[in-house]
Structure 1
């Protein structure tokens, strides 16, 4: 997540905010201030760069850190009003910076409610959920719903809810998870509405526990990326194995790092593709499971986004679910495709608790249906199938024991180095690398969690002479592989 990712971010930034970036010139934008936080951006130093050095860089650019998001070393950076995009661009180009981006106000991925009358829940049969239930209904898994809150008194939800939290910056009550918009209650019902209780609606993972995480205090349901990041961290820290985000976060490096943190603790993050009817041009994100929508005929509704970043599709048209105030209604949008897919992840995890996050994701994808041989190639692996996924989970072989392969690719052995040294590491694993740690002798230089693995080493902190560099790679199963030692000569 370095040079290539920075370029991707700038490209997406330009598309999102109509930014025209000229070499050595300020960023010009016609984006309104309401699209991202005024006077605030998000930035992360590269592995090996100290907080003192990073803060000095911020000061050079007229900015300072308000603090960091937990665990991720992502700084909430205060900048001059009106310079958010320019400062993010300048910082993103600096070799000491992993990424920098505006704190975007993400729209909630909803379409307006359709017919409020009860209608048949076609999506449960379509994904063969009843075929999965004799084996798994999600009973061992907690699912976090990052949204507008949840109606805790709803008769079809109350028994599934566990204490939640409000991550909106400056909120007076961090335990207020009441629904401000109605969207969150509808999403929650798609995951875990009580089933077989003689009232209301059914759901996919009806035995799972629901953790409501309110990330919005706005009537339109929109949420800042920073509040979503905090929500993901808290979800993982409090035991959620699945987290659903029905928001537009596909371009956020901060959310990507938070999703990687969730995965490092054994969880998965599911994201709605959104409802603009376009291909937004996002690259595939290895830490987000992005879900597009299908209708009753397994076609993509015209409003559903699509593209190469889509992992799977799930029903999203005319979904009957719970509503704020104890009622029920019919909704359409990828906001409901996403929690339906998240629910199937909960079924898989319950069916085989020994599976790693990568194995769970692989099962979701490879058991998806591509109906009628006409499924769109830009809707991922296909439309999810709960029964096939659960069956595959119980048939899966024992956990992975293969250690990652890791190698230091630059600098070359024997090279003379001085000052700040850029060090590149190559790492691979049969199921994916979780993190890479670099050492100079016994000194830990830093940790990187996303390929390509690049570190900045301040060689002035060690004596002149021969120094030994070693990289250690870890996978999600806890296996570790160590590189061959690489000797360099320091002369400062």
Structure 2
């Protein structure tokens, strides 16, 4: 959003200090989030990240133990985000996040590794209310409301929290989570989250305050910032997986640079695979940010009353939609109201339109809703999709009407799938990587990897990639098969790829360790004596065979690491007697030990 300039505490152009305490002059600025524009221009500043944290995405099939072994040399501990394959790696104080991320990014068993970037926030402009809610008329919301107000749809607002006491929001809230403090307190600590929430789903027909796009939708507040409005990509990714795992169908992230953060894109794909849509602010730099387009997110640019791009709205091929984002009347923390500007307002307006369409036809898949939003948007720029407005400015009336009229046709087209690596007849060993290429006319929702007919793992996020512990198989030929599934349940099995498993077998030449615990050497015995031994081996105690001899005669045997025998010494001749224990491991290595006792 647009902001009033804040005191920076340093002269313009002075180097700024990162969260890690080091200086990074000369790097491109991280676009300030939450509608970063002050008087229509982005503030430049160096990228900042969390000290002691790195985010990675593991390949499907990589066990927690194997992941732990990879990060252990860096002193790291891994924490999984929800049920996804995203992990936050916590590093010791002396470990460099930059160096660690660079090393882990080269590990073939991670899809990516990146810093946990900090996203600074700034308040929206709180101008006095100056006229009607123009944006609602511009997107034809009132016509859409004849059919849907978004009832039954929950929109997750990942932001600074939401003011639960606000009269236009209190009735719309459902429980969320605070990922900054790791508790259930989702109160708004900065104000921005309340503005965003009011833009998408302030209560309808309550006779007070403002009208929002989807006035009967629910809001799930997910706090991802500190008290200054700054958050981290790990918290945003955590919030997305949290909402997805609870069946939320729409999420809004009013932060900039999200398409360039692999962790957020991955978490958004996780939510999309579970039937959700994730809307994000395009940014307020006023420039082409050059982000790579992704289907996991729906980036939204901002328009004004004349359907022109806001001067400060970022643009590029990554933009999917446009929505009103200049002088939008919304809720403020503390119970008040005001106008706000920025792509961080345009994004929840678009999310609200999605909620209306979903409310009109809750039976439609999210992929249908997304396609409806893109095809019903008003083409206000160059013909067709363009860099300023994407597919066009959202139109609630057209979207709801299209959703109502939508006739679901049976998807009978199966995906295409093939194993890209390893290639047939190649040799694999140790922890191997497997890459699968899969595509579909609608979308691939999951890929299974089978090894010799047994499922190894499932990957639901492209690129579909697996880690395979080949040491669990005997050396020889192994057949790899991938099975791809789409949302309609169509499945396709790839051509089998035969590879040669060849792990080096190291000969076991170490004998077991063996002791006679009782009786001790040189002791005198009488009556019934309990003889006990203890054995261990580098290959484990299960394969050990033990024998017990008294004066050269075998009297007992046992398997495992312990042997016990009751020895009746009453009929023994007076003098010395020798007790001998022999332990042999599975490889045939033996150890013998003896003690001499007297009677």
Query: TM-score, normalising length from structure 2?
Result: 0.73
Q: 1:76 to 1:487 in 2, by over 3 A?
A: same
In structure 2, distance between residues paired with 1:202 and 1:374: 32
Deviations, residues 311-362 of structure 1 (Å, cap 9, x unaligned) = 1010000000111111110110111101000011111112222222222111
- Over 3 Å counting, the alpha-carbon distance change for 1:342 and 1:414 in structure 2 is same
Higher share of residues assigned strand: 2
2:147 corresponding residue in structure 1: 135
Secondary structure in 1 aligned to 2:378? Answer: coil
Segments ≥4 residues shifted beyond 6 Å: none
Change (3 A) 1:131 1:480: same
Paired residue for 1:90?
A: 103
1:274 and 1:365, CA in 2 relative to 1: closer, same or farther beyond 3 A?
Answer: same
Question: Which sits farther off after the overlay, 342-351 or 45-54?
Answer: 45-54
Q: How does 1:281-300 map to 2 (within 5 A)?
A: 281-300=290-309
Per-residue deviation at 1:388? 0.9
Secondary structure, counterpart of 1:313 in structure 2: strand
User: What is the rounded CA distance, in whole Å, between the counterparts of 2:213 and 2:467 in structure 1?
Assistant: 46
Q: Which of 281, 285, 288 pairs up with 1:272?
A: 281
Distance 1:484 1:114 in 2: 61
What is the rounded CA distance, in whole Å, between the counterparts of 1:462 and 1:15 in structure 2?
49
What residue ranges of structure 2 are gaps of 5+ in the alignment? 1-25, 32-44, 504-599
Residue 430 in structure 1 maps to residue 441 in structure 2: yes
What's the counterpart of residue 65 of structure 1?
A: 77
Superposition deviation, residue 435 in structure 1: 2.2
The aligned residue for residue 24 of structure 1 is none
Matched, 1:242 2:250: yes
**Which residue of 417, 426, 432 corresponds with 1:406?**
417
Deviation at 1:132, TM superposition (A): 1.0
The separation in 2 between residues aligned to 1:400 and 1:428, in whole angstroms, is: 18
1:339 paired residue among 340, 344, 348: 348
Higher RCO (CA-CA < 8 Å; seq separation 6+) = 1
- 1:193 matched to 2:206? The reply is no
Q: Does 1:450 align with 2:458?
A: no
Alpha carbons of 1:380 and 1:390: their partners in 2 closer, same or farther (altered >3 Å)? same
Aligned mates of 1:369, 1:279 — CA distance in 2: 22
Which of 387, 390, 394 is residue 397 of structure 2 equivalent to? Answer: 387
Q: Where do residues 204-353 of structure 1 align in structure 2 (5 Å cutoff)?
A: 204-219=213-228, 221-248=229-256, 249-353=258-362
SS in 2 for 1:307: coil
Distance 2:168 2:320 in 1: 30
Segment of structure 1 superposing worse, 452-461 or 462-471: 452-461
- Number of paired residues? 461
**Alpha carbons of 1:260 and 1:349: their partners in 2 closer, same or farther (altered >3 Å)?**
same
Alignment correspondent of 2:499:
488
Kindly provide the CA deviation profile for residues 163-221 of structure 1, in whole angstroms up to 9, marking residues without a partner as x: 222111x44xx2211111111111111111122322211111111111111112222x1
Q: Counterpart of 1:371 in 2: which secondary structure?
A: coil
Q: Distance in 2 between matches of 1:37 and 1:373?
A: 41
**Residue 260 of structure 2 aligns to a residue in which SS?**
coil
SS in 2 for 1:190: helix
SS of the aligned residue for 1:187 comes to helix
The answer (yes or no) to whether the contact 2:82–2:245 under 8 Å persists in 1 is no
The answer to whether the Cα contact below 8 Å between 2:377 and 2:395 also exists between their aligned partners in 1 is yes
| C-alpha separation in 2, matches of 1:479 and 1:354 | 19
Deviations 1:41-74 (A, max 9, x none): 11122223333332222223x2312422111132
Contact 2:437 2:464 in 1 (8 A): yes
1:9 is matched with none
RMSD of aligned Cα (Å):
2.4
The alpha-carbon deviation at position 291 of structure 1 amounts to 0.6
Unmatched 5+ stretches in structure 1: 1-12, 19-30
The answer to which structure has the higher helix fraction is: 1
Given that residues 273 and 460 in structure 2 are in contact (C-alpha distance below 8 angstroms), is that contact kept between their aligned partners in structure 1? no
Indicate yes or no: 2:170 matched with 1:178: no
Structure 2: distance between partners of 1:399 and 1:147: 37
Q: Deviations over 1:61-103 (max 9, x none)?
A: x231242211113222123457112211121112122111111
Residues 1:150 and 1:17: Cα distance change in structure 2 (over 3 Å)? closer
Which position in structure 2 is the counterpart of 1:78? 90
Q: Cα 1:391–1:185, aligned 2, differ >3 Å: closer, same or farther?
A: same
Q: Deviations over 1:239-258 (max 9, x none)?
A: 32101111132222221222
